[in-house]
Amino acid sequence: MPVTWTLLLVLALAVAGYFIGRSRVLSAAGGDSRRLHSRTSYYGWNVALFTAVPALFLIGIWSIAKPASGTVLAVVALIMAAVGMGFNLMRTTPDFRARNAVETFVRYLLILCSMIAIATTAGIVFSMVFETSNFFKQYSWTEFFFGSTWSPRFGGGSQLGILPLVWGTLYISFIALAVSIPIGLFAAIYMSEYASPRLRSFAKPAIEVLAGIPTIVYGLFALVTVGPMLRDYFAQPLGLGSSGSSVMTAGLVMGIMLIPFVSSLSDDIINAVPQSMRDGALGLGSTPSETVRKVVLPAALPGIVGAILLAASRAIGETMIVVLGAGAAAQMSMNPFEAMTTITVKIVSQLTGDTDFAAPETLVAFALGITLFVVTLGLNIVALYVVRKYREQYE
Amino acid sequence: MTDATFPVSSAPAAKSSLLVVDARTRKRNAAEARFRAYGLGAILISVALLVILMFTIFRDGTGAFRQTYLEIPVTLDAAQLDKVGNRDPEDLKKVLTTSYGKILENSLQQAITSNGINVEGLSGPDVANLISKEASAQLRNRVLANPDLVGQTVDARVLTNGRVDGYYKGRVTMETAARDSNTSPAQLQLADALKEKGLIATEWNWSFLTMPDASDQRPEAAGVGIAILGSLYMMLVVLVLAVPIGVAASIYLEEFAPKNRLTDIIEVNISNLAAVPSIVFGILGLAAFINVAGLPQSAPIVGGLVLTLMTLPTIIIATRAALKAVPPSIRDAALGVGASKMQSVFHHVLPLAMPGILTGTIIGLAQALGETAPLLLIGMVAFVRNFPGAPPEGLMDPASALPVQVYNWTQRADPAFFERASGAIIVLLVFLLCMNLFAIFLRRKFERRW
């Protein structure tokens, strides 16, 4: 029996339970709802919830884990629903505290839902730790963390040193931040200190649109427009290389992506600096720019540092721009017009296509993933700590 | 009387006047003007980059919405297509696409001779190459759907080769054709002659939105039909799972949670999950849903689950902000007339917070719609030709997704696929625009200031 039918049957049973429970308690009270402990609908809800929810959970877990056929599921789920329904119909009397029962039930449902965040984090950590430990059984961890050659070969004898990937990641992130921080910060300062309401009402949404564009669009922009342009007008005339995909391409485009991120975070932080501080500085005769540089920015500095750290964590974890813009060659070079690669690119390339979950060449992706997770998590925790601490000062 | 505390010097002070700007003030004013210019410049650069980005995407992508077709009468020769002669669909299925290719070739030759076009310097295969390889399969499907067509002469709209299509969109020129092994200037001249007779026309391309992906050699037949459907299925899963779970979690954290260790851990977890790189969620999906739970690869259900986990923090953060914005007086009033805590939340606070929750949800969905990286890891890059079935069973069928389809096409060799990729991005951006406009509309219409 298909799952859909089981689902519909359980739901039908729950709806029936609602009406039976309601009418049963009403007739027991002689049709006078004032003699009931709770309002009548709670008696119905009580039966319906206990009928449907456990059975629905069973169906959900079953259809993912699939321990036996759909017919077995249908039987088990329907028995479960019927037991829940029968038990609750039995305790439906006018003295039964139906509202309390329903509210306790709902409360536990709410708690369960909020636990999913913890379950997700635990899932991420467990899934990666398990496969990473498998990887380190086959490949020494010193060679992974300190090896400077990345050349995976399916068939054995591959060298899987993370250093070239770390170098590419950091180089690209550095260029991205060098582009986005000045532009984003100046845009935020101008927007909050100088801009007329008209300019603000036009420019702020425009910059926010940049934030809403999916990264694959930036990736295509890097691949089709920025890469060839940099190659034709900079790299080749300067004799620095002939590759369309390069650190510079990915870095510039990622910088564009991060502008709205930096600017909206800094905007919030600059606006949180109390007006009285500005008024004091202006009253002493400083120009608006001196006020910003000498008073507002120092006051907002911890928050801005936090924003920059968050931007850095975004840059390190960004995938599609580097997959399409940075190339796949794992090397350590200073030349920004050469193709290099990052941790995220290699996770994608090791885990797409034919994968063999016993080979270190596949499992290395999990080790790369956990490295990425730990680094970005660390940056986020520091950044959130800095931002939160700063906000407390003025509120 | 006050004592003079400052000796009045008899010598006149250094010449300074409010009316004459001294060097130091000039310097400070210049610094001020510079600072302002930097700020304005930063904003102009960002807006200009946005304009350039949009311009290049639309310049490259609009071509995908137009397609060059050859319109010729095709004689469906019964001797070739139905040797048994009984028009039985089972027998018709035994005839392969190559036979239909020959029929199209003959029809094109006939059309060329009847219009008196000179094909000097072009061999037979070169003329036939004008027609897309996909066209014969399409003709076969048309005949199988309607066996009575066999033996008749029908007007057919036949896809042309990707190079000919590119020629009318400016991507292929006579110079590039001379260097190209897949076409030749003579072939393009033939196409021009056919166009003059009205047999070739470039028209609006609906099939881009409805057709499935096509193989490497046939960019002209590739469409985003399956990708749109796959994205839609995934959004359905996200909507069904992420919204109730996210709203329930926020209600608990905002209204019921006691201030204790567990609540703190949940809150820190949520804010950290919001900043975890999306590719990490892809690894989770691969390990948990595919390797452990054994769900099929490239299925929208897996993509939907991964995107659900990714979108949850966004929805929770937005919902909590919306709940926080409802003033405590509402809760107090409800409690004051005897409602329970649960009743005050579900009957009063939640309806008032609904517009904010919806706005946050739509923005979360928009984010999920554009996400690519995690979907690559769960096998959505696979080449899919068959449309998935209707949900819920169809959620287990392999499908593609819009952003992944874009990535897929950028990995192909033929430059015609870049046009398709940009076209797919336009489709994606139109969806995102609609969602965001809807969110803005909701905010404007229902926003309430307390």
In terms of residue numbers, what domain contains B312?
Answer: 225-446
Do the Cβ atoms of B53 and A290 come within 8 Å? no
A134 touches chain B (CB under 8 A): no
Q: Which residues of B touch A352 (CB under 8 A)?
A: 376-377, 379, 381
Q: Which range marks the domain in which residue A72 is found?
A: 3-120
User: Which among B47, B50, B377 has the least Cβ separation from residue A352?
Assistant: B377
CB-defined contacts A:B, below 8 A: 261
* Domain-located, residue B26: no
A182/B contact by beta carbon, under 8 A: yes
Overall number of domains in chain B:
2
Task: Look at residue A356 in the predicted model and tell me its pLDDT.
Answer: 78
A174 and A114 in a common domain? no
Give the one of B28, B49, B256 whose C-beta lies nearest to A110's C-beta.
B256
- Cross-chain Cβ contact B286/A259 below 8 Å: no
Q: How many domains does chain A have?
A: 2
Chain A contact for B49 (CB, 8 A cutoff)? yes
Q: Is residue B210 part of a domain?
A: no
Q: Is residue A142 part of a domain?
A: no
Domain limit, last residue, from A77, A99, A120? A120
Do A103 and A176 fall within a single domain?
Answer: no
Question: Do residues B201 and B229 both lie within one domain?
Answer: no
Q: Which of A378, A360, A377, A375 is nearest to A133 (CA)?
A: A360
B440 touches chain A (CB under 8 A): no
Residue B301 maps to a domain: yes
Q: Are residues B344 and B246 in the same domain?
A: yes
Domain stops at, among B177, B205, B233: B205
pLDDT of B340:
92
ipTM for this prediction? 0.89
What is chain A's pLDDT, residue by residue, as a tens digit (395 residues)?
A: 577 888 888 999 999 999 999 888 888 888 888 888 888 889 999 999 999 998 888 888 887 766 667 788 888 888 988 998 888 888 888 888 989 999 999 999 999 999 888 888 898 998 889 889 989 998 888 888 998 888 888 777 788 889 999 999 999 999 999 999 999 999 999 998 898 999 888 888 888 888 889 999 999 999 989 999 999 998 888 888 788 889 999 999 999 999 999 998 898 888 888 899 999 999 999 999 999 999 999 888 888 888 899 899 999 999 999 999 988 888 888 888 888 999 999 999 888 877 778 888 888 999 999 999 999 999 988 888 887 776 666 65
Closest Cα in chain B, distance from residue A249 (Å)? 14
Are A166 and A304 found together in one domain? yes
Residues A17 and A63 in one domain: yes
Q: What is the pLDDT of residue B13?
A: 57
**B313 and B383 housed in the same domain:** yes
Task: Say yes or no for a CB contact (<8 Å) between B252 and A114.
Answer: yes
Contacts of B281 in chain A (CB under 8 A): 124
Show which of residues 386-425 on chain B sit within 8 Å of chain A, judged by CB atoms: 392-393, 403, 406-407, 410, 418, 421-422, 425
Nearest to A220 among B376, B392, B410 (CB): B410
Q: Chain B: give the shortest CA distance to residue A118, in Å.
A: 6
Partner B contacted by A372 (CB < 8 A): yes
**Percent of all residues in chain B with a pLDDT value above 70, rounded to a whole number:** 96
Q: State whether B348 and B268 are in the same domain.
A: yes
Sign of the CA dihedral running B81, B83, B89, B95: negative
Round to whole Å and give the CA distance between A317 and A54: 39
For the domain that residue A178 is a member of, what is the CATH number?
1.10.3720.10
Interface probe with A: pick from B284, B395, B409, most Cβ of A within 10 Å: B284
Q: Do both B298 and B400 map to the same domain?
A: yes
Check pLDDT > 70 for residue B4. no
B377 and B259 both lie in a single domain? yes
Which residues in chain B (263-282) have CB-CB distances under 8 A to chain A?
Answer: 265-266, 269-273, 275-282
pLDDT tens, B381-399? 888 888 888 777 778 888 8
